[in-house]
Structure 1
């Protein structure tokens, strides 16, 4: 540049010194990230996630019918968590929670939303491990919508069952010239990955099996590998627990007429279907067990077995005919309780743990293994102090469980669970409540919600559920504001979009005759249900109408531009204009 003055020697020396310090600092950072001596000391991690494997679909859990010798061996050699739960009993939301360490109440991801929020995926466990120097891989069912896979994984292939109404749903991937079952394919992808890893660099491999998920569109529902076909031949599977009509009849109508019942008719409503489905479910889990055995053999072959931690978990529980239901989604133990095993060869001591563990604990546990600090925004805790016998408890007295996806055939519900009690209610009618003493009634038969002797417990758990729901609710999920009512011949409703929404894809208005009905989400005057519409002004009332001079109570919630459901607005009331009668 013109007229630029030459630097004085002292200034030049200072600048050169500062530049040298920057290079030294950057070099030190790179060395810290890639120094083989440091990275090799960190354990390798294999996280295995199965689809729909309930807690007792495991030989080690005391099931004498299922054949899972390798999973049982992991449990015997490692730490087995007897009381492991998912915070949301459905694969999509549970998998989002496992990746991000957040409750569904926070991430708000379900089958009908757009991508998991990017800010949450930037803190997902694979990305943090990758950024710290781990070589990360993923094979199988991702289960969420996301466009950050390249930032999460060094090597990956995402796939799941296809929509074919027969065995092609599981048989479409090839190894060489052979079309193989997805379980076999995922196992081979793991073996190939282990053949490629550099033993001087730690790796994190996430395996997500599609099995034992049924194929809903298929008549046979379950498709297993020929290798497990001999299992359970000639064995009569025992009838499901709580299979009598009275247990089904006691359920809310929305459950009796919903997907839990429909899928029961697909799988269990005749003795023949029941035998086929339960055996098929167990055989598919046994197929995963075979792949785990191969993976452990490969680890030993490559000399990686003594520094590789294996974590095994199910993504949600499962009904196998209990209460004449199938599927998951509900708050009963069948649906929320899963297997969880952590086999750390360095621990050298087996332990069966009674402490409650959650799916949202997985990310914190994996980062702890890698010597990394968990993000403060995560809501789970590391389980490694229990594995390492450093702690006997996690100081967690109450957990939040919920299924918030508002989808007609699956009624959303929410609840809390302690070591002794479980309370839950249905979101769209909070008067439908259930309260169980799990110590005296582990099968959840005797609903105490309407028993006056347990009124204090009921009220306490209602309050605790409200407290936890508010604590974990995402700030972006705030409900609409600035509610207005135009009280002409017919009331017209309006609102402003909440700060977290740039647009509205749907809305739901509830109008009630009392504040109690509104608080229970019972729109006894008008309930629009979900209305796909971006309009949020001058919404004219339908339903039974209003009576002039009478006071009404209302609130509204919306689905945002990515179809994420917000909380309800603050309740409002108004008096209908005199002479109005619709």
Structure 2
């Protein structure tokens, strides 16, 4: 669809410079601004995929300020989110932990307190930073207003099935687009800076997320009307039926397809939606220009680091899909730029940087120690010339929200390979050689030449899913099951680390192999809302005396989904 370029990073060593300001009298300042702790502005966009950026080679979009940040800073061409959905991704950024660990998704009632207690805003505030937040928070947490000293948390309003969903905030009595409001709040925060301590400002734009309740989907500011007005957007890549037909039924019948119908199923919708998506990103770009101008006016530009990232990617009609959620690069890869004016050098870096690395990088820049439980790493070693991050040859990718219309998936990526499978139907697997097939179109799962690679990546996925699961998601134990007279009775115990149960799922299969594939050919309960650690159910098709195998997983007291138990036979 577009022309992209990829720049392979060369090892670049940067030596940090200290500038002393000398004066003749005894009252001379000892240290100049460049030797103070830096200010940090973190900008998170909503649904901006990696190539929705001029610097990435996109010749259609207008992002001069983002491009300038990339040209003057460190640009991570292969940055990814560990989970391609806003709620889990934002929880991962706050906590520097995988979804596999924090277990927060749209079903969960709240983010676990222990993971918020050492979140990046708390640690920066405790280190003396003035902290601020404006925009979409996206994570359920009762004390979210206490995380930042100054904040205003808001997002699109779904109760308005039209442009009002984006136009309800006011400046000086006039309703303005949320992008404009967020930019103005950022400038006021900077103007109010007293200079007595460094600041950390988080800006989480709602754009370019579509406004789902509205037929028009995308709403941009009037300044964007002229952009692409006389341009015909080329059709999406992989638009042929065969790429859609290759998807498992849960994808073909799920939200990725439903939202394709909202946005891309006619040429007119496609032109409107892609142009709207690009125009909304350009609106954020204009606000970045205003923010940088305000930094210059306040004399803060030389000591303020700007980090820009997307919370997940987006399908723009590829494979006849919309939305994100799946583990293709369309939804996993995002833009990531770290602009540090003190360094004065540009870097193009192709390391596998992750969203969980951003908070670790902010703490490193601020001189704050990273908590032992954090799973992200600081990106500064890469910016200082390291070839890669420690133990970062393989990364886990996952989308665990168990929702009927979005099939959960998990897998791993290396620089060369990507493997993933669908959690509820692990027989659906995909394997791609990314060096030879960047578009991810040639699935090598059934190719015998790659059996060893497939087995290795399966094993790595299994290992990482266990390594990165916390004790709170431990599986039930002491399983007991028996059957008779057309019914099956089950009991189990919860580990002490699981505080309670809100629901369970039991899978009953005729063989260990089917059970391993989550194929409940005898019975699959689905999610059953229950607090009791027992179940008694009629099981159709299960003959008396038949050998059978079962396993169970539960949702905890905050409705966070845990792991499957070990398999258990059922007695007669």
Shorter-normalised TM range: over 0.9
Summarize deviations over 1:146-202 as a string: whole Å, max 9, x none. Answer: 123344211001000001110000000000021100000000000010011122310
Which one of the candidate residues 496, 500, 509 is aligned to 2:497?
500
**CA root-mean-square deviation:** 1.5
SS for the counterpart of 2:197 is coil
- 1:413-492 correspondence to structure 2 within 5 Å: 413-489=409-485, 490-492=487-489
SS in 1 for 2:287: helix
Q: Partners of 1:345 and 1:59 in 2: how far apart?
A: 21
C-alpha distance in structure 1 between counterparts of 2:421 and 2:479, whole Å: 27
Match of 1:220 in 2: 216
Q: Does 1:535 align with 2:532?
A: yes
| Structure 1 residue 542: Cα displacement | 3.3
Partner of 1:568: 564
Residue number among 517, 521, 529 corresponding to 1:524 in the alignment:
521
Unpaired segments of 5 or more residues in structure 1?
A: 1-34, 578-582
Does 2:382 correspond to 1:401?
no
Aligned to 2:20: none
The counterpart of 2:149, out of the listed 150, 154, 158, is 154
Counterpart selection for 1:124 from 103, 119, 127 = 119
Paired with 1:242 and 1:304, the residues of 2 have a C-alpha distance of 46
Counterparts of 1:450 and 1:550, CA distance in 2: 33
Contact 1:191 1:298 (C-alpha < 8 Å) held by counterparts: yes
Q: Give, in angstroms, the shift of residue 409 of structure 1.
A: 0.2
Give the superposition deviation at 1:566. Answer: 0.7
Q: Secondary structure at the match of 1:105?
A: helix
* 1: CA distance, partners of 2:360 / 2:33: 21
C-alpha distance after superposition, 1:357-407 (max 9, x if no partner): 0000011000000011101110011001222x2423214100000000000
Alignment of 1:277 with 2:273, yes or no, is yes
Determine whether 1:357 maps to 2:340: no
- Partner of 2:269: helix, strand, or coil? helix
> Are 1:373 and 2:373 an aligned pair?
no
Once the two structures are superposed, the pairs formed by residues 24-35 of structure 1 within 5 Å of their partners are none
- In 2, the alpha carbon distance for the partners of 1:542 and 1:446 equals 43
Going by fraction, where is helix more abundant, 1 or 2? 1
Deviation at 1:229, TM superposition (A): 1.1
Q: Which has the larger radius of gyration?
A: 1
Determine if the alignment matches structure 1 residue 346 to structure 2 residue 342.
Answer: yes
1:332 and 1:442 map into 2 onto residues whose CA distance is 10
Tell me, yes or no, if the aligned pair for 2:34 and 2:302 is still in contact at 8 Å: no
- Normalising by structure 2, we get a TM-score of 0.93
TM-score for the superposition, normalised by structure 1? 0.91
Match of 2:40 in 1: 45
Equivalenced residue count is 540
Shift in Å at residue 524 of structure 1? 1.2
User: Alignment partner of 1:380: what SS?
Assistant: coil
Q: What is the 5 A alignment of 1:194-209?
A: 194-209=190-205
Alpha-carbon distance in 1 for matches of 2:315, 2:341: 34
| CA–CA separation in structure 2 for the residues paired with 1:361 and 1:543 | 47
Runs of 4+ with deviation above 3 angstroms: 35-40
Whether the aligned pair in 2 keeps the contact of 1:44 and 1:309 (CA below 8 Å) is yes
Is 1:80 matched up with 2:75?
Answer: yes
- Partner Cα separation in structure 1 for residue 488 and residue 352 of structure 2: 50
